[in-house]
Amino acid sequence: MRFNAFITGFTGLLLLLQGCQQGVRQDNLQIENADAAVQTRTLGNGMKILVLENHRAPVVVSQVWYKVGGSYEYDGITGVSHALEHMMFKGTDTYPAGQFSEIIAANGGSENAFTGKDYTAYFQRIASDRLELCLKLEADRMRNLILDENEFKKEIEVIKEERRMRTDDDPTALAYEHFNAVAYLNSSYHQPIIGWMDDLDAMTIDDLAQWYKTWYAPNNATLVVAGDVMAENVFALAEKYFAQLEPSVIPQLKSRTEVRQHGERRLSIKAPAKVPYLMMGYKVPVLKTAAQPWEAYALEVLAGVLDGGDGSRITRHLVRGSEIASQAGAGYDLYNRQSSLFLLEGTPATNSTMEKLEAAMLTEVEKLRQQKPSDEELARVKAKVMSSAIYEQDSVFYQAMQLGILETINLGWEIKQDYMKNIQAVTADQVQAVAKKYLIRDTLTVAVLDPLPIEHQSKNKSAGVSVHGH
């Protein structure tokens, strides 16, 4: 169903593209996996270039990733990374406001940008012979952005409208924002990427200028190019446009490691809504923070056992079997910069209740703690991972995105090469072990969206036409 999109997010998709040098063997599924090689270069100023050649179509995707995002921010300036991302389209001396987009459009390209917790990225999709344009324009705005006060005054209003649309007027998104703010105490994952409205109201052009100066430098950026290109040509173009940019001294981020949670937290969010919604999150490590890397892979498999498709436990037991949930899911993202949450979410079925849904979720968790998953279940999870690795090669954008994320959170793109191997190596005992160790009540946060009534009225200004209200 459509209103849980924010949780399904990437957890189901972050199954990496190509893995091993040789075929991987597995009971039900055996794949000889071609190793689409990533070629890399680092410029003299510290900027890293990754190229993934893929000659299936005469197109290319170019992405510039900066190591900065919502989790780099601190109280009072939340949303500044995202606001700066918007302002990055407002021009330089060489290419005044609007020209970046115009030039890309005139060359048949499309472009956009996105801000995450751990990164900010800018991308173009374009015919492969136009790559040079993208690099020229990106290099220009990496160092020469004009941050104009009048442009900012208008743009910050656009961002507030964005916040109203995405969060304030969407009860599940609002609930999720509050859920995060309660689940995380001192970790910067506590704050919303788009920023608190009060911080947006108080934001100034100087905040953005400072942020730009601090983080937008070649030695804090990664260029990822994937598509119908030759790596050597890309390196030459990158050298031509980016190598001349001066590096900066990039500050060391404070760690802000989340404090240990001493007991379950609960909250309710009352908002105009029609359908209640339950969110549960356990504190878990990610690949970057796990004591042993296998723990992160085991949590990934655990998420697959619970919610890896229509045949997995949550759908089988909660949606179909007991019919307690109208929809439900689980999610885990092992590629975060800081420790995060193992999420469970759902909506009760017609004759069910939030209490029953929560109890059923806890029962599923308890089963995983008490008993290891069956061989068949593990085999299905692993088969999905293996085939996804092939299917993902159908999308160069997705492949480029994975490389960019891994570099930007300082795990290094190379880790994706071992993803399949590491998933294959996960045993049923390990899945049970991480369930026992991490899915514990004392680190659980439970949030409930508690619908307030929506008054319905509608009227029609033209005579003689009746309109049904909602």
Partner 1 sequence: MVIKLRNILVLFCFSLTGVVSAAPDIQHWVSEKGARVYFVPANDLPVIDLRLVFDAGSARDDGNYGVALLTNGLMSEGAAGNNAQQLAEQFEAVGAQFSNGALKDMAWLNLRSLSDAQYLKPALAALDKILTRPDFPAPAFKREIERLKISVQGNQQSPSAIAEEAFYKALYGDHPYAMPTEGTEKSLAKIKVADLRVFYKKYYTVKNAVISIVGDLTRQQAENMINDLLSDLPVGQRAEKVSDVKPLTESKTIEIDFPSSQSHILIGQLGTSRGDDDYYSLYVANHPFGGSGFASRLVDEVREKRGLAYSVYSYFLPMRLPGPFQMGLQTRNDQAEQALQIINSELKRYIDEGPTKEELEASLTNITGGFPLRIDSNRKLVEYLAMIGFYDLPLTYLQEFNDKIRAIDIHKIRDALVRRIHPDKMITVIVGKQASKS
Interface residue with partner 1 among 3, 219, 265, 415 (CB under 8 A) is 3
Q: Establish whether 85 is a catalytic residue.
A: yes
Site for partner 1 in 199-238 (CB under 8 A): none
From the list 284, 280, 327, 326, the residue with the least C-alpha distance to 447 is 280
Contact 245, 142 (CB under 8 A): yes
Place of tokens 């909602």: 470
**Closest approach of Cβ 141 to partner 1, in Å?**
14
Site for partner 1 in 153-192 (CB under 8 A): 153-162, 164-166, 168-171
Nearer to partner 1, 255 or 466 (CB): 466
Strand, coil or helix: what is 117?
coil
**Closest approach of Cβ 9 to partner 1, in Å?**
4
Site for partner 1 in 344-383 (CB under 8 A): 347, 349-351, 376, 379-380, 383
Site for partner 1 in 46-105 (CB under 8 A): 56-59, 82, 85-86, 89, 98, 101-102, 105
- Please tell me the distance from the alpha carbon of residue 62 to that of residue 56, in angstroms, as a whole number: 16
Nearer to partner 1, 191 or 220 (CB): 191
* Catalytic-role residue among 73, 85, 358, 407: 85
From the list 287, 327, 288, the residue with the least C-alpha distance to 307 is 327
**Closest approach of Cβ 41 to partner 1, in Å?**
25
Q: What is the DSSP letter of 130?
A: G
Q: Is residue 36 near partner 1 by the rule CB under 8 A?
A: no
**Closest approach of Cβ 254 to partner 1, in Å?**
22
Site for partner 1 in 254-293 (CB under 8 A): 272-275
Interface residue with partner 1 among 22, 252, 255, 457 (CB under 8 A) is 457
Place of tokens 């990437």: 10
Nearer to partner 1, 251 or 272 (CB): 272
- Please tell me the distance from the alpha carbon of residue 347 to that of residue 55, in angstroms, as a whole number: 44
CB-neighbour burial class of residue 219 (10 A; exposed 0-12, middle 13-18, buried 19+):
middle
Binding range to partner 1, per CB under 8 A, among 122-130, 242-250, 286-294, 429-437: 122-130
Binding range to partner 1, per CB under 8 A, among 283-291, 361-369, 439-447, 451-459: 451-459
Binding range to partner 1, per CB under 8 A, among 200-208, 356-364, 415-423, 449-457: 449-457
By CB under 8 A, how many residues form the interface with partner 1? Answer: 104
**Closest approach of Cβ 405 to partner 1, in Å?**
9
Q: What DSSP letter does each residue of 32-49 carry, written as one string?
A: ------EEEEE-TTS-EE
From residue 397, alpha-carbon distances to 400, 404, 406 in Å are 5, 10, 15
**Closest approach of Cβ 380 to partner 1, in Å?**
5
- Please tell me the distance from the alpha carbon of residue 433 to that of residue 262, in angstroms, as a whole number: 21
Q: What is the CA radius of gyration of the chain?
A: 24
- Please tell me the distance from the alpha carbon of residue 183 to that of residue 281, in angstroms, as a whole number: 7
Q: Is residue 23 near partner 1 by the rule CB under 8 A?
A: no
**Closest approach of Cβ 98 to partner 1, in Å?**
7
Buried b (16+ CB within 10 A) or exposed e, 370-406: eebbeeebbebbbbbbbebbeebbeebebbbbbbbbb
Place of tokens 């969206």: 449
- Please tell me the distance from the alpha carbon of residue 2 to that of residue 376, in angstroms, as a whole number: 30
Nearer to partner 1, 91 or 218 (CB): 91
- Please tell me the distance from the alpha carbon of residue 426 to that of residue 298, in angstroms, as a whole number: 6
Interface residue with partner 1 among 91, 109, 218, 346 (CB under 8 A) is 109
Site string for partner 1, 308-327 (x = CB under 8 A): xxxx---xx--xx--x--xx
Binding range to partner 1, per CB under 8 A, among 250-258, 282-290, 342-350, 420-428: 342-350
Site for partner 1 in 402-431 (CB under 8 A): none
Residues marked as catalytic:
85
